[in-house]
Structure formats: structure tokens, C-alpha cells
Amino acid sequence: MTFTIDEWFVVTLARTIKDREAVFHGFGSPCAQVAMHVARHTHARDMLLVEGATYAVNPEPEFIPPTGNDLALQHRAVYQLRFEEFFDAAIRGDIDRMFLSGGQIDAWGNTNVTAVGPIERPKVKLGGGGGGCNLAATIKNLTLWTTRHGSGRTLVEQCDFVTDMGHRTKEGTRTELGFTGGGPEWLVTELGVFDFPQGRARLRQTYPDVTLDQVTDATGFSFEVAGDLKHVPFPSAAELAALRSVDPLGVRRQEFSSTELKRVFEHGSGASCAC
């Protein structure tokens, strides 16, 4: 069975979710959105899935539309949280995981979705952070992701503007600032996967068509490499089937450049289980 990088990437995101976690994604995040449904249909059947901008609880969409605020995303949800119900829960610390991305991400997992360049006269005004600058403080674990690592402009030494705090900024560490959430746990990119021991990004896995040099060249900060650096585990047949079923329009592909989408893979002999 062949599969493409967008599929492998989404499955990798999905695997950062643990069963029985309450999980949320922001709007404008098709990959994270699809990943949550993949997780709920495979290894995390009893997660509590809070759907982006509709706040629907455990919906069963027949397709993922290209916007985060569409009725299609509430399909078969027994309940839709009110705006304040969701944010209160998140600020109290009852939400276990959130997916966050950024135009810039630094080694401490700080993210910038506000502006590239000086804020007074930005070079690029990005969309903005939604609820992130409060949510990132209190949600238990964050899964960060970007599909633009290869551009060399996304993983940077220092964010021009910190919209959502990771493990440490000029103002101090999470503990010093009194934040109750654990901060970034994973950073998944189209080149590999980082974790954050001591709060700083460390490379744990790469895709098999990517070399360590490629990752180093594309990354604006120095990073430790795990002693047991591995390849990202293959997606299973069940994960791919769930993904293709939940995202027939392929909205996940919007996050990738057309060049990236040409990356096709196949389960080799002896590859991970296809159960």
C-alpha cells in the first residue's frame, strides 16, 4: 500500500494523542483536525474530541470542510460546548492537549502567529493567535506542528513575536510565570519529530527520505539529537483507512506545498504492522 507525506504526517500527529485525553485544535489547522478524528477512530476511542471553532464534542463528520467553523463539523455531536464553557475548562486545566502551529517556532517551543518582522511595521502580518496566548499557559500538553520546516524560515533561533509561550521566554520559564500547563511535548514537522527534554527541542525521529543534514540545514537553532534517533513509525492500514474516510476532500493537503505532496512511500517488507 502506498501513502503520501500528508497522510504519514497526520498519522504521526494523531499518535501524540493518548486515549481518554480531552483534545482541542485551533481553527485553520486541517492536519490537526483530521489527526484528532484519526486518533478517535483508532487508538484513542475514548478521547474527548473538541472540534475547533464549533466546540462540538465527539462529532462524526461525514467530511472535513475547508473552514473550522462549519456545521458539517457538528454532525452527530450530542453536545456543542458554548464558547465560554470550552475556554473556562481550558483555563481551569481540564483540557489535556491542544494542537498549535506557527509561522515561526523556536527551540523552546514558542510560536509566532502574529507577525514576521517588527510588529510596528511587519514584513508579513499573519492571521493572529485566537485563544492561544492564554490557552498555551494552562492546557496540559501541547503538540506543535509545522509543514514548512523545509523552507528554512519556520524553525528559528528567536521568534520575532511570541504569540503563544512555549517553555521559556525573556520573561522567564513556565514555572516562574506560574503557568499550570506542561507546555510543548512534541513538535512534528514534515521532516521529523522533536520532543522537549528540559524544555528544548531534541530530534527524535526523521522520515526515511530525510537526512540528518537536511534537518540541520532547515533548522535555525541548534538541537540535540536523541541517541536512539529512529525513523518515524509507518502508518498502519487502519490509520490510513480512518484518515481517508474522514477527509475525502483532502483538506489536510492544503498545508503542504505541491513539491512535498510528491513524497510517496510504501510499506517495505518487515515494516511495522499493518493491522
Is position 58 an interface residue for another protein (rule: CB under 8 A)? Answer: no
Query: Which amino acid type is present at position 107?
Result: A
Rounded-to-integer distance, Cα 154 and Cα 112, Å: 10
Question: Nearest distance from residue 227's CB to another protein, in Å?
Answer: 31
**Containing H/E element for 211?**
none
Question: Nearest distance from residue 176's CB to another protein, in Å?
Answer: 9
E strand map for the chain: 2-4, 22-25, 48-51, 56-57, 79-80, 97-101, 104-105, 111-112, 115-116, 124-125, 141-146, 168-169, 172-173, 184-189, 192-195, 202-206, 224-231, 264-266
Q: Which of residues 137-166 bind another protein (CB under 8 A)?
A: 137-138, 161-165
One character per residue 192-231, x = contact with another protein (rule: CB under 8 A): ----------------------------------------
DSSP assignment, residue 85?
H
* Of 12 and 147, CB closest to another protein: 147
* Of 46 and 171, CB closest to another protein: 171
Question: Nearest distance from residue 96's CB to another protein, in Å?
Answer: 17
Query: Which amino acid type is present at position 207?
Result: Y
Q: Which residue in the set 249, 271, 273, 274 belongs to the binding site for another protein (CB under 8 A)?
A: 249
Question: Nearest distance from residue 11's CB to another protein, in Å?
Answer: 19
